[in-house]
Amino acid sequence: MIGDMGRWEPNARGRLEQAALELFIERGFEQTTVTEIANRAGLTQRTFFRYFADKREVLFWGQGALQDLLLGAVASAPDSAAPIDAVTAALQAAGAVLQERREYARQRQAVIAANAGLQERELIKLASLASAIAGALRQRGVTEPAASLTAEAGIAVFRIAFERWTQESSQADLPHCIRESLEELRAVTAGRTVPAV
């Protein structure tokens, strides 16, 4: 064990993440242990805990960076941008990052969909993201309730777009799905009939 301390393992985080996803899909999230994840990745438990606090963290560690990216994009949107356009542009920027990891995103989504506790955690993350976006809009001078409504609308658009992107066999990219989903939200809130896509 002493020999392991500080040993550099190439792409340890990525290997652990991949091993964890494979095992979560094969055996289920609850049934998978940290030891099994480390073994599958050819690494030690000690190395696992250098990167992740627990096995759930493997699925959620990227959310902080995603939130930073979103809030930065909302803050730096042109002054002239309408709040919904600032939020949509931010979501599309985040979507472009996720697009690069489509297969990972699909696998992660399948794992979360199969576990009620993970779904709740995802829900809580999205709610706190909506609340952070509303705060960023208020910083831009948007008043309430417009700030919260815009943020909630943005998160709803993102969820629906993300679901379509991960589930469908279509080759549409995530930023495109987000734009389409926003148009659909506009149509449904206006009470217009939504054309089949």
Of these, 53, 65, 75, 188, which contacts a second copy (CB under 8 A)?
Answer: 188
156 lies in the binding site for a second copy (CB under 8 A): yes
Of the pair 22, 152, the CB lying nearest a second copy is at 152
In the shown chain, the binding pattern of residues 125 to 144 toward a second copy, with x for contact by CB under 8 A and - for none, equals: --x---------------x-
116-139 and 146-167 helices, crossing angle to 10°: 140
**Which has the closest alpha carbon to 73: 133, 130, 123?**
133
Q: Which residue has the tokens 């730096």?
A: 76
Of the pair 53, 188, the CB lying nearest a second copy is at 188
CB of 128 to a second copy, least distance (A): 10
Q: 126 with 159: CB under 8 angstroms?
A: yes
Q: 51 with 13: CB under 8 angstroms?
A: yes
Q: Is 194 helix (H, G, I), strand (E, B) or coil?
A: coil
Q: 41 with 19: CB under 8 angstroms?
A: yes
d(CA 158, CA 134): 15
d(CA 53, CA 122): 17
Q: Which stretch binds a second copy (CB under 8 A): 6-14, 50-58, 92-100, 187-195?
A: 187-195
150 lies in the binding site for a second copy (CB under 8 A): yes
CB of 14 to a second copy, least distance (A): 31
CB of 187 to a second copy, least distance (A): 8
CA 49 to mean position of chain CA atoms = 22
168 lies in the binding site for a second copy (CB under 8 A): no
Q: 192 with 171: CB under 8 angstroms?
A: no
176 lies in the binding site for a second copy (CB under 8 A): no
Of these, 64, 123, 139, 170, which contacts a second copy (CB under 8 A)?
Answer: 123
Q: Which residues bind a second copy (CB under 8 A)?
A: 82-85, 120, 123-124, 127, 143, 145-146, 148-150, 152-153, 156-157, 159-160, 163-164, 181-182, 184-194, 196
